[in-house]
């Protein structure tokens, strides 16, 4: 007897291919579905998520498994949501992570809605993340067993309505185990390579993309230190990210790092490593996975970038939905536009986009090194 109908978001890669095979073995009625995403005109064959070659592999996997396969055109939606999010993020001086918008609005809204329209009970992806379900309780989201491949950071955006329909069959596996399963099943994607590049950039430098689509973001301006003293010229604020050291072209007695991007004056602010570190950040309105915002400050761990290590922090929810996060030690790469994702014992509690940072904790919000209660 079938455990239910599940649509697997396929990409032609090893992870989604194994996810489909495992769910079929577990007794689900599996359907493969692949999104055709937007690509820059003339670069359609280079979008790593949906090249013609990747589409062909996904079809072969579906054929080998004996499951239906559908290709869904999401080009306009992807452009209007994800590419616009990318461009707008840089226009406001941030460093956006478009994978957050893609997972929230394309994969887990646009595609999920089409899966449900086919009568599916679930949608599955090849993400490395775990869920737990208990009767009469919210679905809980946990980082994967393979912490090197864990993708819970980009999935903190999912709400309970979406998690109720979600399956992540790879969460308990390591990447080598997944490749071994693919090889054992002789799946065409068993030896496929991985890429961490943004799919719609098609392997090009993001600055070249910005130069074509928002050239005003690549206008030169002054590089100044934290006191406002001019030190040189930058090549456009969007060409730099917080914490960057190389490529500044400024001779100095000690290494200089990007501290901030002042879009109002088109100035790039640089400083020493001591000036770079921040102990506090404020988020935009938070998304809590349980959909219940904590009422009191609490201790947790926070990731401020996808590849960052979790750092001990005191999280203070604010009445307007935002949060203040105070860190036990300064973090050098607090970057507006990236997400600050909150973890507790491996569980993803929620997250929000970083709106601002401070270099020193204030009297009102101070993380005490002895872990005593924070002064409010």
Q: Are 352 and 322 in contact (CB under 8 A)?
A: yes
Say which residues have a Cβ less than 8 Å from residue 353's Cβ, sequence separation at least 6: 100, 283, 284, 336, 337, 338, 339, 340
Query: Closest by alpha carbon to 165, among 118, 108, 127?
Result: 108
199 carries an active-site annotation: yes
Cα Rg for the chain, rounded, in angstroms? 22
Closest CA to 28 of 8, 10, 4, 9: 4
Catalytic residue among 49, 50, 99, 199: 199
Q: Which two tokens stand for residue 292?
A: 């219940």
**104: DSSP letter:** I
User: Any catalytic annotation for residue 102?
Assistant: yes
Q: Which of 313, 281, 311, 280 minimizes the C-alpha distance to 297?
A: 313
Q: Which residues pair with 207 in a beta bridge?
A: none
Q: Tell me the three state secondary structure of residue 112.
A: helix
Greatest alpha-carbon span in the chain: 72
Cite the active site residues.
102, 199
């Amino acid at each position: 007897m079938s455990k239910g109908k599940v649509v697997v978001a396929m990409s032609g890669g090893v992870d989604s291919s194994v996810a489909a095979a495992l769910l079929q073995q577990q007794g689900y009625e599996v359907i493969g579905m692949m999104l055709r995403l937007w690509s820059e005109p003339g670069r359609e064959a280079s979008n790593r998520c949906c090249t013609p070659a990747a589409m062909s592999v996904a079809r072969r996997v579906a054929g080998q498994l004996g499951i239906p396969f559908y290709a869904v055109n999401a080009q306009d939606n992807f452009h209007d949501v994800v590419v616009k999010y990318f461009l707008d993020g840089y226009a406001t001086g941030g460093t956006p992570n478009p994978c957050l918008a893609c997972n929230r609005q394309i994969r887990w809204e646009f595609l999920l809605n089409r899966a449900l329209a086919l009568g599916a009970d679930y949608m599955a992806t090849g993400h490395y993340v775990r869920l737990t379900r208990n009767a009469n309780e919210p679905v809980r989201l946990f980082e994967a067993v393979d912490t090197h491949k864990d993708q819970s950071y980009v999935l903190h955006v999912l709400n309970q309505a979406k998690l109720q329909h979600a399956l992540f069959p790879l969460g308990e596996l390591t990447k080598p185990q997944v490749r071994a399963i693919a090889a054992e099943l002789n799946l065409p994607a068993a030896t496929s390579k991985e890429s961490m590049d943004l799919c719609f950039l098609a392997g090009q430098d993001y600055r070249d993309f910005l130069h074509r689509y928002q050239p005003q973001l690549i206008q030169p301006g002054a590089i100044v230190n934290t006191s406002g003293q001019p030190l040189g010229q930058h090549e456009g604020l969007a060409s730099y990210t917080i914490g960057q050291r190389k490529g500044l072209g400024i001779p100095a007695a000690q290494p200089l790092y990007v501290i901030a991007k002042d879009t109002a004056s088109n100035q790039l602010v640089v400083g020493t490593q001591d000036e770079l570190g921040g102990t506090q950040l404020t988020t935009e309105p938070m998304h809590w996975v349980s959909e219940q915002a904590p009422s009191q400050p609490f201790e947790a761990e926070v990731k401020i970038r996808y590849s960052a290590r979790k750092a001990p922090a005191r999280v203070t929810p604010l009445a307007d939905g935002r949060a203040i996060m105070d860190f036990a030690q300064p973090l050098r790469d607090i970057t507006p536009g990236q997400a600050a994702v909150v973890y507790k014992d491996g569980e993803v509690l929620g997250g929000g986009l970083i709106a601002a940072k401070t270099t020193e904790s204030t009297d009102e919000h101070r993380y005490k090194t002895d872990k005593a209660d924070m002064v409010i």
